[in-house]
Chain A
């Protein structure tokens, strides 16, 4: 059984990193995943996990992943929205784990929107 002592050690380690929590609360980038019935049925849970895992593994502290309900585009689920302060919202559609990792690497880290996966790519065709 995993013990709660390990959690105590994590707390002590984190308390020495002053200011880390306030940074998370004021994250300048928000990634929102649709987690209503439609999103979950289409595979939102592994997408969300891939996003969180990649953010953690890349050590990105200024990025927050949150969830939302159905935004009314069920046929395009799983949907991931990237909201950066001072920029237009970008909506990615029909996401999967691999695409989610790509969005973190290209869009969040390098600042280049992965236009193949956005909803606009669908609208233009």
Chain B
């Protein structure tokens, strides 16, 4: 079982990578006034047909051939719905897939967002060939990370080279701190 929302996000984003996405957009919006946390993972991967889309929330459905269970999406759906939130997947073959989970922020069963910076850092540095757009928004304040901007500056230098990797991690930490003032979401 996942203990952080950010681990679910890492898991779902791995599906986008498997789907051959070239751009993955991850959005985290906390709205304390309306007491909701919205997470969205949007990709331009291969997408799913209607049949697959209907089955994806079934734990006994998987695209894997080595075993017969797939728990990633059902875990995430349950985690959101347990907080009075909602879960939605929109997908179109050839266009991509968008997974949206909404959580009741102050609900007792809402797991912490957790170490979202490590999730984004892991995704960005390990998948240098994929572009990521990340937005973190708490009420009125927000910041974004766009690897297309990084790529323009770096050329063909890998995001996984030591100095760049440290820069990206610091970028996430410093900007997140400015947005949420280290408040735990």
Q: How large is the interface on A (under 10, 10 to 19, 20 to 34, 35 or more residues)?
A: 20 to 34
Considering only CB atoms and an 8 Å cut-off, how many residues of chain B contact the other chain?
43
Instruction: Judge if B150 is at the interface, Cβ distance under 8 Å.
Output: yes
Q: Is the CB of B178 within 8 A of A14?
A: no
The CA-CA distance from A77 to B67 in the complex, in Å, is 16
The chain B residue with its CB closest to the CB of A33 is B126
Q: Report the 7 A-B pairs with minimum CB-CB distance, sorted nearest first.
A: A56-B162, A37-B72, A2-B171, A2-B174, A10-B163, A7-B153, A40-B11
Q: How far is the CA of A49 from the CA of B118 in the complex (A)?
A: 8
- A72 and B67 alpha carbons, distance in the complex (Å): 8
Question: Given A1-B178, A40-B11, A41-B7: A56 and B165 within 8 A (CB)?
Answer: yes
B1 and A41: CB pair below 8 A?
Answer: yes
A40 with B7, Cβ < 8 A, contacts A7-B150, A20-B161 known:
yes
Interface of B is mostly: helix
Q: Which residues of B contact A (CB under 8 A)?
A: 1-2, 7, 10-11, 14, 18, 64, 66-67, 70-72, 75, 115, 118-119, 121-122, 125-126, 143, 149-150, 153-158, 160-167, 170-171, 174-175, 178
Given A14-B157, A36-B14, A2 and B175 touching (CB < 8 A)? yes
Please measure, in the bound complex, the distance between the C-alpha atom of A52 and the C-alpha atom of B160, giving whole angstroms. 9
- Say yes or no: B126 contacts A65, CB within 8 Å: yes
Show the binding face of A for B, using Cβ within 8 Å.
1-2, 4, 6-8, 10-11, 13-15, 20-21, 24, 35-37, 40-41, 45-46, 48-49, 52, 56, 59, 64-67, 69-70, 72
Tell me the complex Cα distance, A10–B122, Å. 20
Which residues of chain A have C-beta atoms less than 8 A from B2's C-beta? 40-41
| A–B complex contacts, Cβ < 8 Å, 5 sampled | A7-B150, A24-B158, A45-B122, A56-B166, A69-B64
Residue contact A1 to B153, C-beta cutoff 8 Å: no
